[in-house]
């Protein structure tokens, strides 16, 4: 079944997110960055590899190497100096039901994005909507019927 989405271009470039990825226009703080989007931004920047990084061998899986630092960075971005990892992880759990990401069982501070929820532009596309791969911290995804 084919579905269409309007897309919003990420300020970081290269990524387009469906409109469901943003808060409704009427909500306070609308169009502000969401936590999962912020995490993707950190994962794309080499300067944060000591804090958060893609897991080798598992597409879409990442590990938070320094949970306190990721929480501090998120708190700074959202102007919430009291942010800590407990609060951040509670926000991450909210994404489980939305199927944006999941916790990887048996691996501490490790999560996995559900790339079928994303539309990625400016990357080579894989066959039949499958993840083509992660290379040098960049992910290559094609989604059919999204």
Quick one: which of 78, 49, 79 has its CA closest to 62?
Answer: 49
Answer whether 0.75 is exceeded by the pTM: no
Per-residue pLDDT tens over the stretch 105-120: 999 999 999 887 665 5
- How far out from the chain centre does Cα 129 lie? 18
- How far out from the chain centre does Cα 49 lie? 15
Per-residue pLDDT tens over the stretch 125-137: 444 444 444 444 4
Number of folded domains that form the chain? 1
* Tokens 């879409």, residue located: 60
Looking at residue 91, what is its pLDDT? 95
Q: Residue 115 belongs to a domain with what CATH number? A: 1.10.10.10
Residue 61 lies in a domain: yes
- 37/145: higher pLDDT: 37
Task: Flag whether pLDDT at 59 surpasses 80.
Answer: yes
Element (H, E) at 98: helix 85-98
Provide the residue range defining the domain that includes 16. 7-141
Residue 47 lies in a domain: yes
The answer to whether residues 145 and 3 touch, using CB atoms and an 8 Å cutoff, is yes
Residue 58 lies in a domain: yes
Residue 2 lies in a domain: no
Looking at residue 116, what is its pLDDT? 75
Residue 146 lies in a domain: no
């Amino acid at each position: 079944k084919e579905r269409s989405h309007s897309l919003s271009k990420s300020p970081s470039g290269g990524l387009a997110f469906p409109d469901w990825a943003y808060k409704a226009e009427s909500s306070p703080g609308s169009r502000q960055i969401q936590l999962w989007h912020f995490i993707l931004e950190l994962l794309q920047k080499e300067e944060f590899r000591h804090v958060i990084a893609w897991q080798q061998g598992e597409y879409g899986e990442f590990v938070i190497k320094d949970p306190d630092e990721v929480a501090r960075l998120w708190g700074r971005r959202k102007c919430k100096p009291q942010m800590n990892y407990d609060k951040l992880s509670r926000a991450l759990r909210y994404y489980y039901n939305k199927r944006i990401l999941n916790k990887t069982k048996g691996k501490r501070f490790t999560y996995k994005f559900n790339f079928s929820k994303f539309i990625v532009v400016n990357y080579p596309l894989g066959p039949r909507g499958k993840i083509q791969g992660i290379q040098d911290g960049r992910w290559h995804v094609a989604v059919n019927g999204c």
